[in-house]
Structure 1
Amino acid sequence: MKANRMEAFSDGVLAIIITIMVLEFKVPEGHDWKDLIGLGPKIVSYIFSFAYVGIYWNNHHHLVHMVRTMSGRLMWLNLLLLFWLSLIPFTTAWMGESHFEAAPTALYALILLLASIAYWLFQRAIMKQHAGDSAFVMAMGKDWKGKLSPLLYLVAGLTAYISPWISGFFFVLVTVVWFVPDKRIERVLKDH
């Protein structure tokens, strides 16, 4: 199998994840703007999750272009990443419906933490295909965003039991860190 088939499959799964999340919204009973107020927590959790899925989609797209040879290991690691990402709609809905109660928010952070670890494993497997001195490996070695994100997810999960506002701060912080797409891979592709 070629890497573009894995990318196409992953793109489809991520599109379904986003679709499932938006289908969780139920139309309010009333017909005024104030009737949307009750959806506030669901909308906020959807915005977080949409941003995270978009970040993974963007970075996955760039990363897959660095695959030299497709292997069973890469396919399984990609599926592991998609597994954790596929749980985002469930945790998004639970967190939004519970108005950011501690357990749903902590579970949301845990799922994001596990997705970030799966992405790191996938990235490392691709890096092993490149020579130790290649521009790609050197660029990826400075992955401060990838090292910081799991730590922030862990803190978000632990602080969920203190305050949803504190957890929310860490979720926003990860989003801000990744909002600007990672240009390292783009630079490597452009130079070669």
Structure 2
Amino acid sequence: MKKGRLEAFSDGVIAIIITIMVLELHVPHGEGLRDLGPLIPVALSYVLSFVLVGIYWNNHHHMLYACTRVNGAILWANLNLLFWLSLMPFGTAWMGESHFAKWPVVLYGGILIMNGIAYTILCNLLVKEAGPNSPLALALSRDWKGMTSIAIYAAAIAVAFLNPLLAFGMYVGVAMLWLIPDRRIERNVAREDGAE
């Protein structure tokens, strides 16, 4: 199967996820700067989630660019990733409105772990479909960032029981890790294009 419909559907769902998250930013009931104070946790949660969803979208785009075809298993794995991403607005809103209380921060970490696992499953299926010597397989052969992210999320969930703000900081740390662009796919695709 060609990948066009999967790309278009995924882009649409991710755009809706980001739109839903921004709708949770409500106008304060006042006209002074101090009226913005209670919104700071909501805004911080939104910024983190926006960045994380953007990172998934960016990497998803690069992965699909490097593959030439998809199959039924890939379609289901992509839906699995989109399902977990679609829970981001709920986790974001609860964490922000609770001012980083323990259970909302724990739930948010659980959603992040499931996103990471779903993304890894999708990567593995795309590599399997593309073949072991494909640019995608060569680019994703050592996914230390993905495994490190999941480990940090798990540690942050444990930390959240003692210090939810520190756990939130660990989630921010993972986002910072991924803000540095991962050029592996671009390099391997360019190398493949140059070899032809």
Give the shorter-chain TM-score range: over 0.9
CA contact (8 A) 1:42 1:95 kept: yes
Segment drifting more, 62-71 vs 175-184: 62-71
Q: Would you say the 8 A contact 1:66–1:126 is kept in 2?
A: no
Shift of 1:46: 0.4
Partner of 1:32: 32
Q: Which runs of 5+ in 1 are unaligned?
A: none
CA positional deviation for 1:134 = 3.6
Aligned counterpart, 2:20: 20
Q: Percent identity?
A: 48
Partner of 2:51: 51
| Alignment check: 8 A CA contact 1:3 1:65 kept | no
Aligned-partner residue type, residue 20 of structure 1: I
In structure 2, what is the Cα distance between the partners aligned to 1:52 and 1:131? 29
TM-score, length of structure 2 as denominator length: 0.94
Q: How far apart, in 2, do the equivalents of 1:156 and 1:183 lie? A: 27
Amino acid of the residue matched to residue 112 of structure 1? Answer: L
Residue equivalent to 1:91: 91
CA contact 1:44–1:96 (8 Å) conserved in 2: yes
Between the aligned partners of 2:139 and 2:23, the Cα distance in structure 1 is 39
Structure 1 distance, partners of 2:169, 2:66, is: 33
Task: For 2:177 and 2:58, locate their aligned partners in 1 and report how far apart those are by CA, in whole Å.
Answer: 14
SS at match of 2:26: coil
Aligned pair count reads: 192
4+ runs deviating over 6 angstroms:
none
Please say if 1:4 is aligned against 2:25: no
CA distance in structure 2 between the partners assigned to 1:58 and 1:44 by the alignment: 21
For residue 28 of structure 1, give the secondary structure of its aligned residue in structure 2: coil
Quick one: distance in 2 between partners of 1:142 and 1:70?
A: 22
Alignment of 1:119-138 (within 5 A): 119-138=119-138
What is the Cα-based RMSD across aligned positions, in Å? 1.2
Q: Counterparts of 2:4 and 2:183 in 1: how far apart (Å)? A: 20
Q: Do the aligned partners of residues 61 and 130 (structure 1) sit closer, same or farther apart at CA in structure 2, a change above 3 Å counting?
A: same
TM-score (normalised: structure 1) = 0.96
Letter in 1 for 2:132: G
8 Å CA contact retained: 1:68, 1:129: no
